[in-house]
Amino acid sequence: MEQRLSSTSRICAALIGFGAIGTIALQTTINTEPGTSALENFALLFRFFTIWSNFAGGAIMLWVATCRPVSERVTFALATALTIVALVYHALLAADHHPVGLDWWTNLMFHTLIPAAAVAWWIVFSDRAHLTWRSLPWVMVFPILYSVFALIYGANTGFYAYFFLDLPSLGWGQMLINMAGLSGFFVVMGGVLLGLRNIIPSARV
């Protein structure tokens, strides 16, 4: 099912969308030094799931803002992916990561503000009549697509952004176990979000 959204939800979606895309553009500018290509630096950002999720969030929110319908399953999968981006960063990485200057701001946007805003949008504005527990498998779309990309990229460049997808070090057996565990984690988090959404009043205005 596709959800039809109000003017309020579209305005909020536009703010989130421009915020996400603008932050990626700013990070590209920060990473581009004399003698380097802005396009190359833009592409290099997509080695990381955080950028995949934020870019998808920006694109989907801007799509919504232009009055185009979007599947409830897509926004559900997006909310789950961004929740995990925020949780993993703050639980495992933030203590050892101390960005400064504009990097501090883009880091805050990527790992805190954009995920929080997108998840809040989904909780408040998503259509509760059609999205059910049977939609949970859809939350695995983002991690599976990214994992396939990461493995192809790693095989061609030797760079693996995350240790749990480092195929040469892990071997296929452990790597497949890791992917199954990752997918299961997304399903569990998707279930938590569905439960949370069901106890928070909607605002279909």
CA distance 143 to 131: 20
CA distance 153 to 165: 11
Alpha-carbon Rg of the chain, whole angstroms?
A: 17
What 3-state DSSP class applies to 162?
coil
Residue 205 has pLDDT above 50, yes or no: no
pLDDT in tens, 41-95: 898 999 999 999 999 999 999 999 998 878 888 899 999 999 999 998 898 888 8
Residues pairing with 3 in the sheet: 70
Residue 1 has pLDDT above 90, yes or no: no
Six token digits for residue 166: 């480092």
pLDDT band at 11, cuts 50/70/90? very high
Helix axes 167-199, 114-125, angle to 10 degrees: 40
Residues pairing with 71 in the sheet: 2
Short-list 76, 173, 151, CA closest to 119: 76
Six token digits for residue 3: 């959800």
pLDDT in tens, 135-191: 888 898 888 889 999 999 999 999 998 888 899 999 999 999 988 888 899 999 999
H helical segments located in 102-140: 102-108, 114-125
Q: Is the backbone of residue 82 left (phi > 0), alpha (psi -120 to 50) or beta?
A: alpha
CA distance 202 to 205: 9
Apex 91 CA angle, 90 and 92, nearest 5: 100
Contacts of 66 (CB under 8 A, 6+ apart): 10
